[in-house]
Amino acid sequence: MANSNKPVPTDYCSIIYARAKVKQTSASAGSLNVVLAGSLAVPPHKMRLLCILLPLVGLISADPTVYFKEEFNDGDAWKDRPSEDARFYGISAKFEPFSNEDKTLVIQFTVKHEQNIDCGGGYVKLFDCSLDQTQMHGESPYLIMFGPDICGPGTKKVHAIFNYKGKNHLINKEVRCKDDVFSHLYTLIVKPDNTYQIKIDNEVVEKGELEKDWSFLPPKKIKDPDAKKPEDWDDRAKIDDPDDKKPEDWDKPEYIPDPDATKPEDWDDDMDGEWEPPQINNPEYKGEWKPKQIDNPAYKGAWVHPEIDNPEYTPDPKLYRYKEICKIGFDLWQVKSGTIFDNILITDDEEYARVHGEETWAALKDEEKKMKDKQEEEEDAKSKKDDDAKDEDEFEDDEDKDEDKKDEEETTPAPEDDEDHKHEEL
């Protein structure tokens, strides 16, 4: 609960997905929309989605108690699980427009790839009011894209993409995401001083300045196009010693005839040609001669191209700012479907977001692991039971075969004795 003496932070949009799976459905109208390429429209209540959309009037605030807590092992309760792999999925929601000017912007949500995803996105997008939610797709312009993306062993990263003046800019750093089957809390914090933080599980994994870690602006400095290295600039640190001379006995052939070789007795010069001894490595061969190196007395160091102020560079103290944010959505490609999103929060207070993460994700993470361990134990026990039953069946089959063989031997008449045959013939 918020301290009564402290203003409750603006909770722009708290969308709790009640551990809702990415749905393979579509809502055709209204503020809540789910879009899937090639799917038919269905009522929003089929999505089993709890969405709390809080309008803004000045600094109207939300009580933190509206946040939703969910049991970990709820998968069996959901019937609208994605039934197809290798599909695009989309879901979006609309809320009262706001600007983050002069305010901190915090985007936070949990992702759980319980299907042990091999390739698929887990990121969220923020949009302005121009987005047509019924037509949302991968090419729809967005303001911010944030969250994990996994595809094979080569792609396991956190996307943090900002749209600046109509162009999407990726972070210049590699931020690794979590790739296990448990829920993880992802947080992006953008501050009015043009700094940022990326958190995973409420721990900072990356931070810095927007201008340095994204290529929003041209570089402050550029190489002087009029500057050229002087022709007499000597950047050789070492040179050949002019006084060093090659020894007269240096040049020896690399290979010489084998002095111990003798012409075979059956060698016929007329038939075989002139005999030549085989070649062997010359023990006196010294290789290519090179003069010794000495310090270059004329060395001036490496020439550095002088830089000048970039006339194209103009600082922007409002890099962080978006004038209008009013829609949030997931637009995802998943080779293996089944990702769970939860505890989606947009606010202006990072401490509020941290506490919310502790009350939601952190409160359940240990239970998740316990449930996973229990599930694996049950699966192992079932597998062992099945193997034992299979072995028992095979043992019984072998016993039946032995019984059949024994019965067959007992019913087969014994061969007549040769003496009896001879007696009968007489």
Binding site: which residues? Answer: 123, 125, 142, 149, 331
CA distance 251 to 259: 20
CA distance 345 to 323: 19
User: Comparing C-alpha atoms, which of 152, 172, 247, 158 is closest to residue 204?
Assistant: 158
Query: How many CA atoms within 13 Å lie on the side-chain side of 325?
Result: 25
- 185's tokens: 């809390």
CA distance 383 to 388: 9
User: Under a CB-based contact definition with an 8 Å cutoff, are residues 300 and 234 in contact?
Assistant: yes
CA distance 189 to 105: 6
User: Comparing C-alpha atoms, which of 181, 188, 182 is closest to residue 202?
Assistant: 188
- 84's tokens: 């197809």
| Binding-site residue positions for an alpha-D-glucoside | 123, 125, 142, 149, 331
CA end-to-end span of the chain, whole Å?
Answer: 117
CA distance 219 to 228: 21
Angle at 18 between CA 41 and CA 98, to 5 degrees: 80
